[in-house]
């Protein structure tokens, strides 16, 4: 019985201490991000050590857009006309990014966000880890 109570206590501490994403601080998402790893619900992990395609977000307030851009060795990004509109929303479960394009729509939960890392949870509960890309703009 003591072991069960200890386990319940530890689990409640872990959930009670987890920080929620503050929707007013989500301007950190603006910029270039590269995926570093993905974890599915079975615990399978896929690492992405090298990326040519980055995710670019530009959000003002709670709306904006997301697009994929391709990095070139000269430091320039190739872009195309494809983009998704994005809208930030929140409820009791957390902060979400709603993606919409002419091809479809989906929603991902922002698990955590900082100046250096973004973690998104997909509808099938997979976790996607992104690292902020710092551009060298000196010429």
Query: Cα–Cα distance between 12 and 8 in angstroms, integer?
Result: 6
Residue 110: phi, psi to the nearest 5? -85, 105
Lowest mean pLDDT among 18-22, 45-49, 118-122: 18-22
**Domain at 70, CATH number:** 2.40.128.280
Coil/strand/helix, residue 66: strand
Q: Do the domain assignments include residue 91?
A: yes
pLDDT for the residue 77: 86
> Does the residue 18 lie in any domain?
no
Asked if the model's pLDDT at residue 37 lies above 70, the reply is yes
Give the pLDDT confidence of 65-74 residue by residue, as tens digits: 999 999 888 8
The residue range of the domain holding 109 is 28-132
Write down the pLDDT at residue 136. 67
| 137 band by pLDDT with thresholds 50, 70 and 90 | low
């Amino acid at each position: 019985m003591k072991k069960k109570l200890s386990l319940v206590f530890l689990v409640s501490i872990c959930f009670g201490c987890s920080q929620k994403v503050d929707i007013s601080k989500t301007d950190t998402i603006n910029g270039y991000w590269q995926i570093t790893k993905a974890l599915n619900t079975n615990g399978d992990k896929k690492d992405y050590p090298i990326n040519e395609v980055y995710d670019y977000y530009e959000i003002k307030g709670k709306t904006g857009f997301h697009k994929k851009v391709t990095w070139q060795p000269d430091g320039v990004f190739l872009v195309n006309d494809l983009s998704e509109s994005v809208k930030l929303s929140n409820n009791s479960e957390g902060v979400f990014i709603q993606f919409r394009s002419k091809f479809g729509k989906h929603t991902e939960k922002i698990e955590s966000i900082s100046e250096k890392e973004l973690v998104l949870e997909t509808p099938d509960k997979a976790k996607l880890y992104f690292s902020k890309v710092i551009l060298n703009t000196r010429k």
